[in-house]
Structure 1
């Protein structure tokens, strides 16, 4: 069977928060899909961990599954909590910081 999704069970109800665990002092990721035009990845970040400022070739949607993140897009900082989402436009610098530990689903769609 040739599938685009990986690292998850098919035809089963999934709780995304349970598919990635917290590790003290670390950023953990689990890729669910990766093609030339799209990436879907689960992340967990321990408190005070972050992803430094960078740009992506595609629009990136962050969906916070647990906890709270501080997300900076260009020079604007947003506090995003569990159940909330934000879109980071392509080619605009952005970064993420864990105010408290958090889990997110990141979907990047490339142009």
Structure 2
């Protein structure tokens, strides 16, 4: 079985590890653990993730292009280099009004308290 993670101890350029695919959202796992995961995601223009909620905080950083992030109905327009934290249990949607790439980091620990 192929390892879905990026090879450890090897240098890579995050924005180059995935391509834009027409009419698609592409997700590449960087690292996955029981305590959370990090993924690189590319969105073609016009694509979106359907509205969802997560029991964990999610850190989003735009690494190429511009994205629209809706959190509980409030829209934020992010461009390359900008980040936002989607709070746990918030309704959220991520939209590509133009194509973009992002890093998504979910931390699952620290909620036990």
Q: State the TM-score, normalized to the length of structure 1.
A: 0.90
Aligned partner of 1:45 in structure 2 is: 43
Any stretches of 5+ residues in structure 1 without a counterpart?
A: none
Aligned partner of 2:75 in structure 1 is: 77
Separation in 2, partners of 1:7, 1:37: 15
Separation in 1, partners of 2:79, 2:12: 21
* Distance change >3 Å, CA 33–CA 10, structure 1 → 2: closer
Any stretches of 5+ residues in structure 2 without a counterpart?
A: none
Separation in 2, partners of 1:62, 1:43: 10
Preserved CA contact (<8 Å) 2:23 2:47: yes
* Distance change >3 Å, CA 26–CA 6, structure 1 → 2: closer
Separation in 1, partners of 2:61, 2:55: 19
Question: How many equivalent pairs are there?
Answer: 107
Return 35-44 or 85-94, whichever deviates more: 35-44
Equivalent position SS for 1:58: coil
Q: Post-superposition shift, 1:6? A: 5.5
Q: State the TM-score, normalized to the length of structure 2.
A: 0.88
Q: What is the root-mean-square deviation in Å for CA atoms of aligned residues? A: 1.4
Find runs of 4+ consecutive structure 1 residues off by over 4 angstroms. Answer: none
Separation in 2, partners of 1:100, 1:46: 7
Separation in 2, partners of 1:9, 1:34: 12
Equivalent position SS for 1:57: coil
